Structure 1
Amino acid sequence: MNNNLGTSERTGILLRIGTLELRCRAVCFDLDGVLADSHDHIDRAVTHWAASRRIGMDNLAEASRSLTDVEFVRMAAPHLDPETEAGEIQRIEYELAADTPPMPGALELYRSVPKRATAIVTSGSRHVVTRRLRSLGIPDPNILISADDVTAGKPAPEPYRAALRLLDIHPDDAIAIEDTIVGATSAKAAGMSVIGVGERLSRDWAGTLFETCVPTLRHVTAAAA
């Protein structure tokens, strides 16, 4: 984290989490589980798909929430065509996406950061993600990196590197907000600092993979620095 950013035309951002203050010039948000309360939709789509293919879902739910659909199918059912099967999962997700609620505190934080300093970095397919964002009231994000925009999804660093390139910003000057170890690993590999959000993340990760972890984004505020 670069807490002494020097002179720049880009407005600085101060993120406060309790007594902790983090300074940056851009914030990259994951979508599912960070901005969008969509894990239930993902679980329903994947469970329906798995049942129709007679595939057990033991220990696969977490992976379905953090990998691209194609990469998930390759892991869960390597004997099936990943593109075709991912398309079936996405068909169900798309039907559910029009009724996507926000995560607690997510929209308030997102809208408190200058739009030009934001990016959304997700493992979801672009047509599903776009529908989710419209449901959230974010029809035109500044930068959107989806599964369709990269060759290697999270946990590879490519999604966050793509966002940083479009933001035209150094990794030290950006913070990612993630709700999974897979997503945080991607951001960390791209050289970024990461805030973890969600009850499922152990605070034991704080100081290693994450700068800090919070139960919800209601615990994070943003202001000009």
Structure 2
Amino acid sequence: MSWQMQCEGFLFDMDGTLVDSTVLIERIWHGWALKNGIDFDFLMQHVHGRRGVETIEIVAPHMDAKAEVVALLAQEMEMMEDIPAIPGAAAFLASLPAGRWAVVTSASRAIAQAKLRAAGLPVPDLLVSSDDVENGKPHPEPYLKGAALLGLPPSRCVVFEDAEAGIRSGHAAGMNVVAILHASGHEPTGLAGAKVAHYDELTLRPGEGAALILEQRS
């Protein structure tokens, strides 16, 4: 079913939404789970869309989450090679007006910049990372900070997400959410206003004033 929504600002999650880094992320966490005797299937229920610190606090509250994340981030940086972009992401970002989009990620700023470069995507000046928030997704703080970076009220922004925690974060922030299903394969919450496989299904056209109309290609 086709749909459309009017918006002025565009906020993008990164992992699974702009870059398909699922294999890399799961490889790193699998090694960590094996080393520390953590059930991997249970871990995977809490990894995607969350900051590493919050994931470890959930699955291994007895561990020093901050110290573990430092080691995991160093490993991730070393293992980063060719990471594919989600189909159509580069062209879609290029179609957006300057200063009207930002990345809102649960990754650190350094990892986010490295992954975007590895995928051949632009690194925006406007970026909210795990370093910039007190409360990670699914709390609304990350996307509220993203809207503030754009200088827009939340209601005028649209969020692009793939993970349950991120969809809940964008929805709680009072924003329309478009679920990108290319990496995740499904939208688990029922809260997204629209669902597409990838960005090639999307098109933009002028709306009222500064707004753009985002819609699914017919």
TM-score by length of 1: 0.85
Matched, 1:217 2:202: no
Contact 1:69 1:86 in 2 (8 A): yes
Cα offset, 1:126, TM superposition: 1.4
| Aligned pairs (5 A) from 1:106-121 | 106-121=89-104
Give 2:35's match in structure 1, choosing from 52, 57, 74.
52
| Aligned pairs (5 A) from 1:12-91 | 19-91=2-74
Cα offset, 1:87, TM superposition: 1.3
Cα offset, 1:196, TM superposition: 0.7
In the alignment, structure 1 segments of 5+ residues that lack a partner are 1-17
Give 1:165's match in structure 2, choosing from 148, 170, 174.
148
TM-score by length of 2: 0.88
2:78, 2:157 → 1: CA distance?
Answer: 34
Q: Deviations over 1:137-176 (max 9, x none)?
A: 3453031101000010000011011111111101111100
Residue identity in the other structure for 2:152: I
Cα offset, 1:97, TM superposition: 2.8
Contact 1:29 1:176 in 2 (8 A): yes
2:69, 2:189 → 1: CA distance?
Answer: 34
What percent identity do the matched residue pairs reach?
A: 34
Determine the structure 2 residue equivalent to 1:200: 185
Equivalent pairs, count: 205
Cα offset, 1:110, TM superposition: 1.6
Determine the structure 2 residue equivalent to 1:155: 138
In the alignment, structure 2 segments of 5+ residues that lack a partner are 208-218
Greater than 4 Å deviation, 4+ residue runs: none
What value does the CA root-mean-square deviation take over the aligned residues?
1.7
